[in-house]
Chains A and B, each alone.
Chain A
C-alpha cells in the first residue's frame, strides 16, 4: 500500500502553491495524487509518491515548509492518543516530537500533556531536543472550529524540510546590486519553478532590469540572457537605491551579482534594446521566457526618441503584452514556457481580458493582490505548435483591466 504524506505549505502566496508543486511534479514525472487541499490552511495530504520523490519536490518547491509521513490521521486528540501504531516496528534512537498548528497557538504545556497521553508510540529511545536521530510531527488544524479543538490531527516522522533557506541566501536585502524593480527572491524562485526550468535550459528575459530572474534560473542550472531598454540598469550605472549607498560601484551590476553567487558560468550577458523592435531571430531558440514586464506605474513604459532621451511610450501597455505573446510564439521551442506578470484592476478583471495566442496554451493563472484595487497575475503559457503567419496574439474580451493600468491605478476611487 502506498504511503500517505502530509505536505505542509507556507500560508502565503496561496494561489501559487499548487501551480508550483504541479510544475515540479511534471518536470520530474512524479505522479502525485492529492487527497485533500484547501487554500485556507497549509495541510495537504498526498499519495502515489515515494520518499525519493518527496526529496526531489523539497529540493525545488519554496512554498512548502516540510513533509511528514502520515502514521495517523485523526479527527481529535483523543483518537490520536488511542492510536496503536501496530503497523510500525519499534524505532530505536533518540527522538523529538514537534507540534505544528494552524489557526491557534498551542501552549507548550498542552503539547507535553498530549505526548504523555500517547501511550502506544513505538519509540524506544530517549527524547533529545537538540540533536535527535528522528524528528516526528504532530500537526493540528484549527481552521474550522478554533475553540472546540482541531478538525484534523496528523502524526508521523519528518521526511524532509524544503530548501526555503536558499531564499535567504539570495535575499534581495543582502544582494550586491538591486534597483526599484528587483523581484522579491521568494517570488522569483516560484516563477522559475512554474516555468519548469531544468538544468541545461536556455532562458530569456526581455525586460531584464537588474537581472533578478536570471538568479533562480541559474540556481536550477539553466543558462540565461536578457535585454532591457534601460541600459543603465544593465551596466549598473547611476545612483544606488539602497539606503546609505551613493553611486553604484564597479562590481554592482548583474555580472557582479552572478559572480557573488558563484553563478557566472550560467549568465550569458545582456543587450540594450527596445522590446517593441525585438532583435532576436524569428526561430525557436529558448526553452523558457521568464519576465516581469513594466506595468507603467513605478517605471513608466519607455522608448528612445531622436534626442536619445527616454520618453513616455506610444507603445501602450496592452500592445506590450500582445507583442510579448507574439514574440514567445516565434522564439520558444515547442513545449517551451512563457511566464510573465500581468497587472490587473481587480474589479474589472475577468479571464476574457487575458492576452491569448493560438500557439500558446494557458497552464496557470495565479493572483497576487497588491492593494485593494489592483493585483498582478502570474501567467504560465506553453507553446503547443509552431506559429503560422496568420497567428497573432489578441484579447478576447475587454482589455481595459490592464490596458490603461497606469491611469486606472492612479485614478481616485469613485
Chain B
C-alpha cells in the first residue's frame, strides 16, 4: 500500500462519520524505485490531505524535508521538493501491517501490500 493510496482511503464502519485518516501500524515497509513524473506529482497536490501525508511519512520515518504546508496555489516548482514528495507518495510501500478506523477502532490487515477493507454484514 502506497502512501498516496492511504491518503485517499477512509473506513466505512457503522457509526463512523469520517473514518479518515486511517491509523497505520506497520511491520514491514519496502522502498521501490518509481519513475519520476513531476506533472503527476503537481497534479496530485491539490487532491491530497497534506497534513495527513506529512504525519504518516513522519511516522514511517521517511519524511526527509517535506514542506509543512503547501503554498496557496498548491503548485510546487522546485524539482528537489517534488522529488521528495514523489518518494513519499509512490516509493514507500507498506507490505505488512494494519489500518485502524479512527472512530470505531476496527482493524484492517495489510498483507503483501494489499489492505483488506472488507466488512461483515453487521459492521
- Chain A residues engaging chain B, CB cutoff 8 angstroms: 199-200, 202, 223, 225, 227, 229, 231, 234-235, 264-265, 268-274, 277-281, 283-285, 303-306, 308, 333
Contacts and interface: CB of A to CB of B under 8 A. Distances in A.
Interface string B94-119: 00000000000000000011111111
A200 B40 contact: yes
B7 to A, nearest CB: 8
A234 B121 CA distance: 21
B20 interface: yes
B39 A234 contact: no
B119 A277 contact: yes
B119 A304 contact: yes
Contact of B120 (A264, A281, A304): A304
Interface in B28-70: 34-35, 37, 39-40, 43-44, 47, 49
A305 B11 CA distance: 18
Contacts of A305: 120-121
Nearest to B91: A265
Given A269-B114, A305-B120, 13 more contacts: A202-B43, A231-B114, A268-B4, A269-B93, A272-B114, A272-B117, A273-B118, A277-B119, A279-B117, A280-B10, A281-B20, A304-B121, A306-B121
B4 A234 contact: no
Given A229-B118, A274-B119, A306-B121, A269 B5 contact: yes
Interface centre among A234, A264, A281, A284 (most CB of B within 10 A): A281
Q: What is the predominant secondary structure among interface residues of chain B facing chain A?
A: loop
Q: How large is the interface on B (under 10, 10 to 19, 20 to 34, 35 or more residues)?
A: 20 to 34
Interface of B: 1-2, 4-5, 8-12, 19-20, 34-35, 37, 39-40, 43-44, 47, 49, 90, 93, 112-122
A150 to B, nearest CB: 48
A9 B85 CA distance: 44
A229 B116 CA distance: 9
Contacts of A271: 1, 5, 9, 114-115, 117
Contacts of B20: 281
A200 B10 contact: no
Contacts of B47: 202, 283-285, 333
